[in-house]
Amino acid sequence: MAEDITQDQWEDLIAKDTSAVILDVRTEEEVEDGFIPNMLNLDIRQGQGFLDEVEKLDKTKNYYVYCRSGARSAQACTLMNQMGFKTTYNLIGGFMSWDGEVAE
């Protein structure tokens, strides 16, 4: 199930989620501008390449997905759910609205 969540919900859920995976679906260039720590980067714009990499992931884990504004990550969550992933969370507003910890 895909769910849109706020940054506060994201931080609360991740704090107590032992099987959380943070997935950044932006391009490499976008990631160079900063990212949420401990993330895995798979660029959704790679199309089939993205799907191939996602297919290798553990479908039993909980995925916290973000992009720049929330649109591509929503699309990624939908695709992942169709591929059999049980739990995906989309960060509302994406990285543009993020005011939590950032790595570079």
Cβ burial 42-61 (10 Å sphere, 16+ → b, else e): bbbeeeeebeeebeebeeeb
> Residue 48's Cα: distance from chain center in Å?
17
Active-site pick, 22, 39, 67, 74: 67
67 is catalytic: yes
Catalytically active residues are 67
